[in-house]
Structure formats: structure tokens, C-alpha cells
Chain A
Amino acid sequence: MKTKLQKIREEFLLKLSLAKDRDYLRELELKYLSRKGELSEIMRGIKDLNGELKKEAGELANNIKAEISAKFEETRRTLEAHSGKNKAVDVSLPGEKITSGHLNPITLVQNELEDLFISLGFMILDGPELESDYYNFTALNIPPTHPARDMQDTFYIDYKNKDGQYDLLMRTQTSPMQIRAMQKYGAPLKALIPGRCFRNEATDARHEHTFYQVEGLLVDKNINFANLKSFLEIVGQRLFGANTKLRMRPKFFPFVEPGNNGEYTCFLCQGKGCRVCKNTGWLEIVGAGLIHPEVLRAGGIDPEIYSGLAFGFGLNRLAMLKYNINDVRLFNSGDLKFLEQF
């Protein structure tokens, strides 16, 4: 049996070396390699052998089959490569059409921010989009007479409490989660809260009643204004590049004291002035401040022991700046022509 196999091998290799065209090759393939070919016939015979003999013959047959098959393929490729009859292949044809899906640009920017703050040791928290008046306003040091509570700014749920007041609403900011986070985790605390917010205003290219914010807060001992400043600096540098500078101005937010906005050097013109930054060289991106003692108290944290910083970004604005999007309504439009670009 073994000799038979060896003989077939020799014979095959010799004939293969003489191959000149494809017809000859096809004959060779039929004679030796096909299911009814000589090699297969011998291999069927191996079944009937016994013990050690069967094992050895089987192994040899397999090896020989692998060897001559490989050599056969090699010869065929060489032959075909040199064959003038072969049709030209248009390698410039496109490949198979594979479609892709796309994430919303808000998701992309949000992921980027989440990753940045995770790397700084922050927790990422979620909170309810339908909030109570208490968490959205009162606990944040926004008393009942503050303009931020105006009916035209807030969507209220059509449900009155015992005192005949609407006290459920669609959150106007992610800030209520400051209080919920403090109540749940206490101090020290590092948390980032991205989420959907709502303002009752008519939509146009620059206004959207449904938008996204990211709220960050850090509560620990001795957190001070210099910390807040450097914190906003590194955030800007990560988002807009290492040379990004920060400028701070006073701004009133009831839940911080002192309060400020943060402007970064325009990343499009590097501060030289352009259309996007209205020729000022600066982009207003962030609202921030040291957490108001009343807010810490509402969160169950003693402001005499702990202090904190808080800041908030508008994700829509960040995405609009980053991708040069000129209409805020596109984010919620579900328009494929928009989404397909991301």
C-alpha cells in the first residue's frame, strides 16, 4: 500500500512538471485528485487495513495528498498568470457594498467628555428627566420668585399638588442631580452627569426646547476658586487643544457663589477672531462656580467642612462648534442626510 502511494506521488509530480496548459491540468486533476481519482481509490482501500498498518498508511496518504494538492495549485496559478487567454481583472472595481450606521453627534461629544472625566476619577451618573420643583429649583437655591421658574421657561406636568401648585416638571438643567448625588454619595464626591434637558421655548436654528447638558461637580475639603480655574483650564485643553486659554467672567447662577462663565480661546482661529467667535477670539462654553453653601446643605453636606466646584456645558453647543453645525434642530431631526456624516 505504501509503495503504491509513493508511486502515485512520483508519477504525479513528474506529469505535473510537464504541464503546459489548462486542459492538461484538468486531465491530471481528474486522474489523480478527483473523488474517483487514483489517490481517492487507494485511500478508500486503507479502511480495510488493520491496526498499526492502517494508521501509518492513513497518515502517509494524507501527507501525500496535501503535498501534491499544494504543488498542483501552485502550478495552476503560475500557468494562469502567464496565460494570455485569461480575461483582465478590473482591480479598480469597488468592493461589495457594505453600509454603515451612525451615532448621533451628541453621543460622540458626550462619550468624549465622559471618557475625559472617567480618567480624572469621576463617576458618571444618570438622573430623572421628569423632575420635581424641589430638586430642579428650590434645593438649588432658586426660590419660588426667581425668574428661572417663569412658566415660559419650564414645561410643567399637568398635575397639581395638595397646595394647588404644579410641582412636577421636565428638568430645565442637569443641576438637580447635584443634590441627588450629594444625598446618595455624600462627600467627597466627583461626579459627571450628562443628560437631556427641556426649556419651554419655540424652536428655531438657535433654540431647541429639548437639549443636552453635562454637569460636573467635585466636593472635597478646601476646594477653592483657584482649583475651579485650573480645572476648567484642563477641560478646555483636552477638548480644544493644549494651547487653549481660559478667560473667566462673573456670571450669576443661583446655585454657585461666586459664579462665572468660562470662555476658551476660539479653536477655529486660535484666538485671532473669526465668524464663529464673532471676532472676539473667545468662545463662551461653560458656566461654573463654587457650590453655594445652601446647595451643599440641601445635599446634606456641611459647608463649613466641605466645599465644592460645579460646572456645566451645553452639549449641543459643543457639538455645533466642534462639527460646524449651523442649526440646532438637526440633532433631533432624525434626518439621515445629517446623521450619515458622523
Chain B
Amino acid sequence: MYTSLNWLKDFVKIPAKIKPSILAEELTNHTVEVESLINSAEQFNKVVVGKVLEVTKHPNADRLRLTVVDVKKTKLNIVCGAPNVAPGQLVAVALIGAVLPNGLEIKPAEIRGEKSEGMICAEDELGLGKNHEGILVLKEGAKIGEPFAKYLKAEDVVLEIDNKSLSNRPDLLNHYGLARETAAILNLPLKPYEKFFHKNWEFLGAKESKLEIKVEDTELCPRYQAVKVENIKVEESPAWLKERLISINQRPINNIVDLTNYVMFDCGQPMHAFDGDKVKKIVVRRAAENEMMETLDEKERVLSSADLIISDGRKAIALAGVMGGHDSEITADTTSLLLEAANFAAASVRRTSQKLGLRTEASVRFEKSLDPNLTSGALFRFLTLLKEICPKLKIASALIDINNVNPEKITIDLDLGWLANKIGQEISRSEAINILKRLGFELLSDDSNLLRVLVPSWRATKDISSKEDLAEEILRLYGYNNIASRLPVLALSLPEVNEERKLERKIKNILAWKYSLNEAYNYSFVGEEQLKKLNIDFFNYLKLANPLSDLQSMLRQSLASGLLGNVKINQSKSDDFGFFEIGSVFFNAPGNFPKDAGREETLPYQEKHLGLVLAGEGDLFGRLKGLINNLLRTLTNYEAETEFSILENPVGWADDRVSAKITIFGQDIGLVALVGPEVNTKLNLKKKTALAELNFKLLANLVLGLARFRFRETSKYPPVMRDLAFVVEEKILYNDLKEEIANFNPLIKSVELFDVYAGDKLADNRKSLAFHIVYLSEERTLTAAEVDQIQEKLVARLAEKFEAQLRNF
């Protein structure tokens, strides 16, 4: 929000030593964040007052003129298109290098063969109005060569206040409110708002009202004030009014609209002026279902019974607290006004404004809960100013005030002992009282350490309701930075260790530092197009109600899509690389976390997965399996044997010949596969890619559930190692062969595959698997004969079960 310093000074006299920067600092330290200070003269940088000396016709263009303009230091040749330019005029000249408020940058130019060294400005180019019919002619007495800002007396400083920091302070969305806060912070006197309007208008005596006003929903409209005025003339606003609005980035429109805006920025109360000839009657009611109205912005709106409207008895003429209607709008011919200053319920204004996507200065204020006491001051202030602008103004009705505001006031008991405890530092009684009074709080009783405090109406709508709120008020004015810091003294306790998180970190470190994988953070959202390319069925995916784009419209159930994306964007930059990610996936099924306190319902199921991807050349499937096996063995103190077996339901993106289920300790925890050629093409992947996805939750349960690791003494007796190669049919699985050998005899301690061969030296459809088989006894030295005997039986068994033949080299 833009705030004019000159405007603030209407209400509080700020001493000269408080420079704008200091004021900004004080406001930021105690109330709201001032984001920047804008010196209003700066927008007219390189715009000066000039005098037109000569005007001649442009030789090559009928509509253009050549002028010579005196800007004191020099005389400039300027090509001008305005019909009203004439010698002797004092004008605003934008010099080369000026950037005008409308964004236009002035450069040296040649227009139809004639040089132009600047521009004579029209009103709209200077941001001072809409007029572009001719150049702006300045008043007599303007000094040639003087900065235009000085001529305009644009010596204001504008404070830009962060809107977010105002979200709980509806009382500060205007100059009087900020002046009040400034006065409180700097301990300065504040002029009462009553000083800025006359209360004695003729309607106060008027017995008869020509206005028929009815409020049907007093909950959504607690207060409605209105009055009718006549003999007004709609025209351009006077200079002071335009300047004020321009200073805070508001565009002047006409005197009536400008004045309603002015009053809103002055005291915070949005107002609306209906054309008095078109609106004879007011009914404040909820809209009918599908009722239509055309708003000021000339858009048709479809309403529902949740929306509060102002009607003229027949049709809607305004969306209460949001925007007026097109039909009852002020026009150049308007001579009478029906003025509205009302209070509308925050929630309903907010709902309507949100539903229609219509955020206005009025709705922004109402949706924060405005003080219902504002309406009458605003109305009087409006009339006072209107009388200055339209001196013939006549009041044409009584002042209507339909007031259903709850008269109950908020009082809070504040125990100063409690306050000291809350702050951690004593704040003296007098200091606390002083601060509260400066902020407009009234002390109902102060005869002990228990203060009974009355909350001022402008803070009582939502903002302040508890002693904690009062503590903040006292603390922020006292100054957060004036509190001495002190560490809490707490009883020692042993915190619960998050073993899962520790495991996660360990896995990340191993993957990055041992296997040279890179950690990806991919989005939780996926899109239809991508999933289709991966042949993944997404009918059961959770969807976003309001996605940013179709590419991110659903919640991922797998990390595959993201990791393949990582491969794609890096494939041209690196030869061989890999990524991993540990991230959440989401399912359309009941989960473990309760949804609400004390209710049965739970959040959708979500769990963490570990995804791994390798891209490059060679046997990536084998490499990735090796990596996974090594990882799982490392995590389980070398107890786990990772089993890879045929995946019954291959995933869509996988080459189903090269897909395996991953099992440890008898539990399936994931899958590993080569990306299928068809998917590779669809995704435009240039490299061979292997991907694995493990259920991190299951893995964590297995790893963390392991019995405590103990060192095992090694056997005192020497092992006997035999190398055997078996030739089997291709379809025989390593897993089955290996299991058979490992479980064949208790003296067989380990079985390790060291070679796989299929080729010329073997028959078709046959492969050779070579194993190191280690025999070991814990009790004695094994003899060769003993081992030979076992081996003989083993060979026979494998021949019988797998038709395995011992290979002779």
C-alpha cells in the first residue's frame, strides 16, 4: 500500500528531525514493514518548465508543428503534434533521457526529417489525468527552466508498505490509521478525525425522508448509512485531489469517484455513490440463485444466494462491499447522488470476491473486518469535501442509519505479573499503561496490578481479543530490540532419536559418496502425458483440484517419472551418470495420519520411496543390481543376501525381460529393471537406462528391526574351496541353482558366482555358471576325501534336478 507522507501530516505533526527514513524505520520496528521510500519528485526527473518561443508548420506533415522551446539553459527544437500549441505558452518539457510516469523514454528523434530534442507533455503522459487532447499548459508565473516537480509542488515522500504485514490490521489501510499508529510510536499528539468534517448539515433537521432503505440481512450488513444530495456537477477533480490520488498511484477519474476513493484512503471506509436519479430505493439482500448483474467493469456476473447485493427494489445495482453496478454508475450527466457508507460482514465479502475473482480496494478492506463506527465519519467527511468542490450542493434527504451492530465492547484483564512472565522482563506499570493509552486503549480500572482494558473499536473487530494480544501490543511499542535475551533453563531430557531419518541420511551418504550417484529432488506432481509415455495407468492417482499446469496435475505414486526426467536433461552433457531420490509418494487409499483431531478419518496413504537410476553404456542392469546388493548388505551389517527374481507384474516403463523383484529377508522391497526400448524412444532417451525403486519404509523396518549386530568368531579350521562350473539350460535361474547348492549340506558355508558363459563352446540354449564353493567346519579340519564325497552327491543332485552337467575345461 502506498502512503503519502504529506497526507499523514494532515493528522499528525511530525517533527522535522524525524526524517522520512527514520519514520519508515520506526514503523518497521514497531508495526508494519515499510518496503521502500519513493520521493515523488523523482518521477518527474528531467522534466522542466519551458516557454514556447516559435511555432511553425512541419514541412512534411500537416498535423505536426516545429517549435522552439526555451528551457533557460538552451533552446530546443521540438516536433509537436498537439493542436493547441502556441507561442508564449508555458509547458512541461521532457528532456532527452527522461522516463515519464507512463513509461515513455525520451530519446533524440527525427520525425519526418525534422530533428526533435525532447517532448512537450500532455496531461496523461505525466500521469496527471486522462487528457490527451493537447499539451498541458501551465499557469502564469511558472519559472522557465525550473524542475516540473517543483512547479507541481510534488514534494511528497511515499511509503510503500508491505501488504502482507497489514493482513491483520484493517485499521491501517488508510492514512488516518497510519497517522494514529505513527503518533503512538513517536508519542505525538493526533488530531481527532472529527476536526476534519462538519456535522451540522440541514438533513439533521429534515423530518421527511425521500429515501426508502431496507436491510434484509442484518448479519451480513450490520450497518447501512445513506444520504441523498442534489445539485452536483460531475467534472474533473480539483488539482489538490488529483495530486493526492496520483501520489498514491491512484488514477483520477472524476470528482465524485475521486472523492469516494479519497475518503477511503483517508479514513479506511469504502464508499459508493449511486446516481440519485436512477436509484430511488435501496434493499440490501442476498442475491437470488443465478441472479445476473453487470458490474462497473462491464462484466456480467452470475450470483448465488451466498452473495450480498444492493438492489433498487427490482434488480441488483451493486455487489455489497465489492463493486458497484454499471447501470447506476455516475456519468457526466449525473446531478444527484445517493451516497452509501456501510459495514459488510468480512466472510461474505471475501467469499463473493473470491468466487468472482474480483479483488477491489473495497473488498480488501471489508474482508479484514472493518470497524462499523467508521461509516458516519466517512459520510460527513465526504459531504464536507463535496461542498468545497460543488458549492451549490443541497442535501436532499435525511441521513439514514440502519444500525444493527452488536453494542458489546471487548474488555480484557491484564495481569502485569503475567505480562512480565510472558516477556521475560519487567515492564513498569506506568510504561505499560502509557503504551496502551497511546494506542487508544482505555483503562477501565487501574488500581492494582490487574488492568482492565477496553479495546478501541478500530482494533476490536478481530484483531485484539486476548491478553496475549495485549502483551504483543505492549511489547512491540516497547521495542522487541529493547528486551534482553535470556536462554531458557530447562530440565535435561533424552530426546527420542529418529532412526528412520538417520537411516535416510546414511543411505544418501552411501549413494553419493560410495556409488557416485547424485541426489535429485523431483516434484511430487506428475502429468498425464508423461505417465502415458511410461505406460503407467493413472486412473487411481490422486489429482490436484487446482494444478498449475497439465504437466503437474496428479500426485506421483512412483519416483520413476522424475528420475527418467533427470536422465533426459543430462544425457547430452555426461556419458555415464546416475541419480537417486528419497521422496514421498501418495496413494488413493486410507493412510496412518488422522485427518482431524479426534476423528476416525485418515489422510491418504503416503510413504517414502528410494529411487535409483543409472544411464550410460554396458550392463547397467547388472551394475544397478550389484549396487543395490552392496547397499543392502552394507545397511544390514552384511547379513542380507539380496535376491533378484522374476517380476510377475512388470511395470509399464520396464523391459519385461529385464525386470526383477528385489527381496531381502524374504520380503519383497522393490524392483529393478532396464527401461524398455519403446519407452526409451517415447521419452527420447539416448542412453541405456536402468532404474530401481525400493520402498523406503519397508527397508527401514527391516534394517531397524535387525537384531543387534555382534561380531562372530571365525573358524579355527581351514576352509576348503572348490570351483565348479555347471552347464544348464538357459531358462534355469541362477537363484534356484544357488539355493540348491547353499542348502545342500551344512558344511557348505558360501556359494559365490564368479563366471557366466554362453557361447560357441556350448550348445545352443545352454549356459555355464561357475561357482566358488567354500566348505568349512567349526569343529575340525575337513579332509579332501570328505569334501569330494559331498561334492559328488551335489553334482548328482544338480544333474537330477536341473539337468546340470559339470563343465570340463
Q: How far is the CA of A328 from the CA of B595 in the complex (A)?
A: 32
The interface residues of chain A lying within 8 Å CB-to-CB of B493 are: 121, 188, 190
Contact present for B595 and A258 (CB under 8 Å): no
The interface residues of chain A lying within 8 Å CB-to-CB of B576 are: 99
Scan A31-47; emit 1 where CB is below 8 A from any B CB, else 0.
00000000000000000
The interface residues of chain A lying within 8 Å CB-to-CB of B800 are: none
Say yes or no: is A54 at the interface (Cβ < 8 Å to chain B). no
The number of residues on chain B lying at the interface, defined by a beta carbon within 8 Å of a beta carbon of chain A, is 92
Is the contact region of chain A dominated by helix, strand, or loop, or is it mixed?
mixed
Contact present for B595 and A249 (CB under 8 Å): no
Stretch of A69-77, A87-95, A144-152 contacting B (4+ beta carbons < 8 Å) = A144-152
Contact present for A126 and B498 (CB under 8 Å): yes
- Least Cβ–Cβ distance between B250 and chain A, in angstroms: 22
Contact present for A188 and B491 (CB under 8 Å): yes
Say yes or no: is A78 at the interface (Cβ < 8 Å to chain B). no
Say yes or no: is A124 at the interface (Cβ < 8 Å to chain B). yes
Contact present for B545 and A336 (CB under 8 Å): no
The interface residues of chain B lying within 8 Å CB-to-CB of A150 are: 354
Given A134-B596, A168-B603, A257:B484 Cβ within 8 A: no
Contact present for A147 and B603 (CB under 8 Å): no
Contact present for A226 and B508 (CB under 8 Å): no
The interface residues of chain A lying within 8 Å CB-to-CB of B586 are: 129-130
Say yes or no: is B168 at the interface (Cβ < 8 Å to chain A). yes
Say yes or no: is B277 at the interface (Cβ < 8 Å to chain A). no
- Which of A130, A230, A331 is close to B485, meaning CB atoms less than 8 Å apart? A230
Contact present for B498 and A226 (CB under 8 Å): no
Contact present for A102 and B425 (CB under 8 Å): no
Contact present for A102 and B518 (CB under 8 Å): yes
Stretch of B98-106, B473-481, B702-710, B736-744 contacting A (4+ beta carbons < 8 Å) = B473-481
Say yes or no: is A307 at the interface (Cβ < 8 Å to chain B). yes
- Least Cβ–Cβ distance between B649 and chain A, in angstroms: 26
The interface residues of chain A lying within 8 Å CB-to-CB of B518 are: 101-102, 336, 339-340
Given A188-B490, A210-B523, A334-B522, A250:B546 Cβ within 8 A: no
Say yes or no: is B734 at the interface (Cβ < 8 Å to chain A). no
Say yes or no: is B597 at the interface (Cβ < 8 Å to chain A). yes
Contact present for B483 and A226 (CB under 8 Å): yes
Say yes or no: is A196 at the interface (Cβ < 8 Å to chain B). yes
Say yes or no: is B235 at the interface (Cβ < 8 Å to chain A). no
Contact present for A331 and B521 (CB under 8 Å): yes
Give the number of A-B contacts (CB < 8 Å). 235
Stretch of B72-80, B509-517, B650-658, B782-790 contacting A (4+ beta carbons < 8 Å) = B509-517
Q: Which of A290-304 contact B (CB under 8 A)?
A: 290, 292-293, 298
- Which of A100, A131, A157, A292 is close to B542, meaning CB atoms less than 8 Å apart? A157
- Least Cβ–Cβ distance between A258 and chain B, in angstroms: 4
Contact present for A231 and B569 (CB under 8 Å): no
- Least Cβ–Cβ distance between A342 and chain B, in angstroms: 9
Say yes or no: is A270 at the interface (Cβ < 8 Å to chain B). no
- Least Cβ–Cβ distance between B707 and chain A, in angstroms: 25
Contact present for B480 and A145 (CB under 8 Å): no
Contact present for A248 and B498 (CB under 8 Å): no
Size bin of chain A's contact surface:
35 or more
Contact present for A334 and B603 (CB under 8 Å): no
Q: Which of A130, A292, A298 has the most CB of B within 10 A?
A: A130
The interface residues of chain A lying within 8 Å CB-to-CB of B165 are: 251-252
Say yes or no: is A118 at the interface (Cβ < 8 Å to chain B). yes
Nearest residue (CB) in B for A144 is: B347
The interface residues of chain B lying within 8 Å CB-to-CB of A183 are: 597
Say yes or no: is B591 at the interface (Cβ < 8 Å to chain A). yes
Contact present for A225 and B519 (CB under 8 Å): no
Q: Which of A231-251 contact B (CB under 8 A)?
A: 231, 233-234, 246-251
Q: How far is the CA of A225 from the CA of B487 in the complex (A)?
A: 10
Contact present for B524 and A129 (CB under 8 Å): yes
Q: How far is the CA of A164 from the CA of B493 in the complex (A)?
A: 46
The interface residues of chain B lying within 8 Å CB-to-CB of A5 are: none
Contact present for A134 and B597 (CB under 8 Å): yes
Say yes or no: is B604 at the interface (Cβ < 8 Å to chain A). yes
Scan B409-443; emit 1 where CB is below 8 A from any A CB, else 0.
00000000000011111000000000000000000
The interface residues of chain B lying within 8 Å CB-to-CB of A135 are: 596
Q: How far is the CA of A111 from the CA of B508 in the complex (A)?
A: 11
Contact present for A156 and B488 (CB under 8 Å): no
Nearest residue (CB) in B for A253 is: B168
The interface residues of chain A lying within 8 Å CB-to-CB of B505 are: 111
Q: How far is the CA of A247 from the CA of B30 in the complex (A)?
A: 12
The interface residues of chain A lying within 8 Å CB-to-CB of B542 are: 130, 157-159
- Least Cβ–Cβ distance between A225 and chain B, in angstroms: 5
Contact present for A335 and B517 (CB under 8 Å): no
- Least Cβ–Cβ distance between A91 and chain B, in angstroms: 26
Nearest residue (CB) in A for B490 is: A220
Q: How far is the CA of A341 from the CA of B508 in the complex (A)?
A: 17
Say yes or no: is B566 at the interface (Cβ < 8 Å to chain A). yes
The interface residues of chain B lying within 8 Å CB-to-CB of A107 are: 508, 519
- Which of A131, A145, A226, A249 is close to B424, meaning CB atoms less than 8 Å apart? A226
- Least Cβ–Cβ distance between B424 and chain A, in angstroms: 3
Contact present for B480 and A101 (CB under 8 Å): no
Given A129-B606, A168-B603, A293:B466 Cβ within 8 A: yes
Given A104-B521, A249-B29, A128:B498 Cβ within 8 A: no
Q: How far is the CA of A293 from the CA of B418 in the complex (A)?
A: 14
Contact present for B569 and A155 (CB under 8 Å): no
- Least Cβ–Cβ distance between A216 and chain B, in angstroms: 13
Contact present for A101 and B354 (CB under 8 Å): no
The interface residues of chain B lying within 8 Å CB-to-CB of A222 are: 421, 488
Nearest residue (CB) in A for B469 is: A257
- Least Cβ–Cβ distance between B670 and chain A, in angstroms: 20
Contact present for A227 and B487 (CB under 8 Å): yes
Q: Which of A132, A134, A227, A340 has the most CB of B within 10 A?
A: A132
Say yes or no: is B745 at the interface (Cβ < 8 Å to chain A). no
- Least Cβ–Cβ distance between A310 and chain B, in angstroms: 14
Contact present for B597 and A103 (CB under 8 Å): no
- Least Cβ–Cβ distance between B600 and chain A, in angstroms: 13
Given A126-B501, A226-B485, A251-B165, A99:B516 Cβ within 8 A: yes
Stretch of B129-137, B577-585, B635-643 contacting A (4+ beta carbons < 8 Å) = B577-585
Nearest residue (CB) in A for B346 is: A145
Contact present for B566 and A123 (CB under 8 Å): no
- Which of A139, A168, A248 is close to B480, meaning CB atoms less than 8 Å apart? A248
- Which of B468, B545, B603 is close to A257, meaning CB atoms less than 8 Å apart? B468
Q: How far is the CA of A202 from the CA of B521 in the complex (A)?
A: 18
Scan A96-132; emit 1 where CB is below 8 A from any B CB, else 0.
0001111110110001001000100111111111111
Scan B645-681; emit 1 where CB is below 8 A from any A CB, else 0.
0000000000000000000000000000000000000
Say yes or no: is B122 at the interface (Cβ < 8 Å to chain A). no
Per CB-CB distance, the 5 closest pairs between chain A and chain B, nearest first, are A226-B424, A224-B424, A230-B485, A258-B472, A101-B512
**Besides A104-B519, A159-B542, 14 new A-B residue pairs in contact (Cβ under 8 A), listed by A number:** A103-B519, A122-B495, A132-B595, A158-B542, A168-B595, A220-B490, A222-B421, A226-B485, A227-B424, A227-B488, A230-B486, A231-B487, A248-B480, A250-B31
Q: List 9 A-B contacts (CB under 8 A).
A: A134-B597, A146-B167, A147-B367, A156-B546, A196-B584, A198-B524, A224-B423, A307-B422, A334-B570
